Amino acid sequence: MVITSLLGALPGVGADILFLLWGSYSIDNTTLHRFYSLHYTLPFIIFILTMVHFGLLHEFGSNNALGLNNSVDYIPFVPYYGLKDGLSIIFILFIFFCFVIIAPDKLGHSDNFILANPLVTPVHIVPE
């Protein structure tokens, strides 16, 4: 509500944009369906755009920093960038799976291992 209401502060078109975004004059089922649909489809859109980017990089190659068309500085995507990207992905997945499989509680907070006691209030909960 707060974040989407910021668009209503735009002079002139803010109320229209807010109505278009919400689908009503307040947050309703329509708004939730729109945001869920966006939340669900956005990763697929990002994946497709990434694959298009890789395809274009593979087809046309990388460019130099000055933007000059010089075939001497041409570096092909495969094997150089493809190998580098593949090894980076393998390294990141290795670190990720080390935490997931070997030490899943390594990044957890120590308070998560205290047994729940309904008679004792946790230390960090204090009255104002």
Q: Are residues 8 and 39 in the same domain?
A: yes
Average pLDDT over residues 59-86: 74
**How many domains does the chain contain in total?**
2
Q: Which two tokens stand for residue 39?
A: 């939340």
CA 96 centroid distance within chain: 16
Asked whether residue 56 is assigned to any structural domain, the reply reads yes
Q: What is the pLDDT of residue 113?
A: 85
Average pLDDT over residues 97-126: 86
Q: Name the catalytic one among 28, 73, 85, 105.
A: 85
Residues 7, 21: contact at Cβ < 8 Å?
Answer: yes
- Percent of all residues in the chain with a pLDDT value above 90, rounded to a whole number: 27
Q: Are residues 47 and 71 in the same domain?
A: no
Structure letter (DSSP) for residue 124: T
Q: Using N-to-C axis directions, what is the helix angle for 14-22 and 29-60, rounded to 10°?
A: 90
Q: How confident is the model at residue 101 (pLDDT cuts 50, 70, 90)?
A: very high
Q: Name the catalytic one among 26, 39, 109, 128.
A: 128
Average pLDDT over residues 95-99: 94
Q: Are residues 54 and 65 in the same domain?
A: no
Catalytic site includes residue 62: yes
Residues 25, 34: contact at Cβ < 8 Å?
Answer: no
Higher pLDDT, 92 or 35: 92
Query: Domain limits at 67?
Result: 61-108
Assess whether pLDDT exceeds 70 at residue 30: yes
Q: Are residues 4 and 50 in the same domain?
A: yes
Asked whether residue 49 is assigned to any structural domain, the reply reads yes
Q: Are residues 42 and 79 in the same domain?
A: no
Residues 73, 64: contact at Cβ < 8 Å?
Answer: yes
Q: Are residues 32 and 80 in the same domain?
A: no
Average pLDDT over residues 65-87: 76
Pick the range with the lowest mean pLDDT from 14-28, 56-70, 114-128. Answer: 56-70
Catalytic site includes residue 59: no
Q: How confident is the model at residue 15 (pLDDT cuts 50, 70, 90)?
A: confident
Catalytic site includes residue 128: yes
Q: Are residues 22 and 49 in the same domain?
A: yes
Q: How many CB atoms lie within 10 A of CB 7?
A: 16
Catalytic site includes residue 24: no
